[in-house]
Amino acid sequence: MTTIKSHSVGNGDMFYIDHSSDNFTIIDCCLNDDDDDTILDEIAELDANSGIARFISTHPDEDHLRGLARLDDRINILNFYCVKNDATKEDESDSFIRYCKLRDSTKAFYIEKDCSRRWMNQSSDARSSSGITILWPDRDNEHFKEALEDANAGGSPNNISAVIQYMRKGMKRAVALWMGDLETDFMTNIESALNLSKVCLLFAPHHGRASGKVPATMLEKLSPQIVIIGEAPSEHLDYYEGFDTITQNSAGDLVFECHDDEIDIFSSLDYEVDFLLDKGRSLAGHYYVGTLRSLA
Q: Which pLDDT belongs to residue 42?
A: 96
**Alpha-carbon gap, residue 62 to 97, rounded angstroms:** 11
Cis, bond preceding 137 (omega within 30 deg of 0): yes
How would residue 4 be classed by pLDDT, with cut points 50, 70 and 90? Answer: very high
Q: Does position 34 have pLDDT exceeding 70, yes or no?
A: no
Q: Which pLDDT belongs to residue 198?
A: 96
Which residue has better confidence, 151 or 172? 151
Q: Which pLDDT belongs to residue 53?
A: 97
Tell me the percentage of the chain whose pLDDT exceeds 70: 98
Tell me the per-residue pLDDT of 42-91, one tens digit each, with 9 for 90 and over.
999 999 999 999 999 999 999 999 999 999 999 999 999 999 999 999 99
Q: Which pLDDT belongs to residue 260?
A: 86
**Alpha-carbon gap, residue 153 to 87, rounded angstroms:** 7
Q: Does position 296 have pLDDT exceeding 60, yes or no?
A: no
Q: Does position 151 have pLDDT exceeding 80, yes or no?
A: yes
How would residue 295 be classed by pLDDT, with cut points 50, 70 and 90? Answer: low
Q: Does position 294 have pLDDT exceeding 90, yes or no?
A: no
Domain residue ranges of the chain, discontinuous segments joined by +? 2-293
> What fold, for 2-293?
Metallo-beta-lactamase; Chain A (3.60.15)
Question: Mean pLDDT, to the nearest integer, of 261-283?
Answer: 97
Q: Which pLDDT belongs to residue 239?
A: 96
CA-wise closest residue to 276 among 285, 284, 254, 82: 254
**Alpha-carbon gap, residue 266 to 253, rounded angstroms:** 8
Q: Among the listed ranges 18-22, 41-45, 188-192, which one has the minimum average pLDDT value? A: 18-22
Question: Mean pLDDT, to the nearest integer, of 27-44?
Answer: 90
The two beta strands, 65-66 and 132-136, are: unpaired
Q: Is 169 exposed, middle or buried (0-12, 13-18, 19+ CB in 10 A)?
A: exposed
Contact 65, 99 (CB under 8 A): yes
Residue 281 neighbours by CB distance under 10 Å: 16
Tell me the percentage of the chain whose pLDDT exceeds 90: 91
